Amino acid sequence: MDVEREKRLAAEAAALLVEDGMAVGLGTGSTVSAFLPLLAERGLRLRCVATSLRTEEEARAHGLPVEPFMGVTALDRLDLAVDGADQVARDGWVVKGGGAAHTREKLVAAAADRFVVIVSSDKLVERLRPPVPLELLAYGLASTLRRLDAVSLRDAPPSPDGNVIADYHGDVADPAALSAALSAMPGVVEHGLFPPWSTSEILVAHGEDVERIVPGE
């Protein structure tokens, strides 16, 4: 399996989904890095928002216009968002945040009419497994950590929103229950579990083919 080739194939398929005049959310990671030049090559008139400084800089370097997604005057909806993932299950559950951008990625995905996940075949899993990335508020961090089981702080810089990156290493057998429990925990800003209903389609490259998984179908 040539992972880089598969990333590019999935990225090519996603680039073809973008239409002139669209507002597009740009995810984070190496698969998105493959997507950005392919999108730029299409020469479309676009408005883009980025989920990380890395993506913003790469997008601009390829000539894509990136505008802020901060505050009340920013775009309030996107036509399409494209992002990578750390794990995808066939039932549509996705784990993201290996690059610590999952909070912004989840907001951009939620703003998009269509959220497309692009992955190489090594990301497809039978069942989700730990770790699940977390973003924690620095305020009250010691208390949050005491209330969370099986969580370790990641040796990573704070998120762009000033929060602490951590990982949950416990049981992931019931992602819906885990997602609800983490979301209900004060101090957890966001977690990296993306439910099936948040994703419109998952493009998985296998060798020279791209499989399209539509969660819920």
Q: Point out which residues bind ligand 5RP (CB under 6 A).
A: 27-31, 83-86, 96-102, 105
Task: Report the nearest approach of ligand 5RP to the CB of residue 147 (Å).
Answer: 24
Contact 95, 85 (CB under 8 A): yes
CB of 99 to ligand 5RP, least distance (A): 3
Give me the least distance between CB of 52 and ligand 5RP, in Å please: 8
Give the type of residue at 144.
Answer: T
Show the DSSP H helices in the chain as ranges. Answer: 3-15, 30-41, 53-61, 102-111, 141-147, 175-183
Using the 8-state DSSP alphabet, how is residue 112 labeled? E
Q: Which of 88, 89, 92, 86 is nearest to 27 (CA)?
A: 86
CA distance 210 to 52: 26
CB of 80 or CB of 101, closer to ligand 5RP: 101
Question: Is the CB of residue 60 less than 8 Å from the CB of residue 37?
Answer: no
Distance CA 100, CA 120 (A): 19
Q: Annotated catalytic sites, by residue?
A: 105
CA–CA separation, 162 and 151 (whole Å): 19
Decide whether 98 or 215 has the Cβ nearer to ligand 5RP. 98
Nearer to ligand 5RP, 53 or 147 (CB): 53
Nearer to ligand 5RP, 26 or 40 (CB): 26
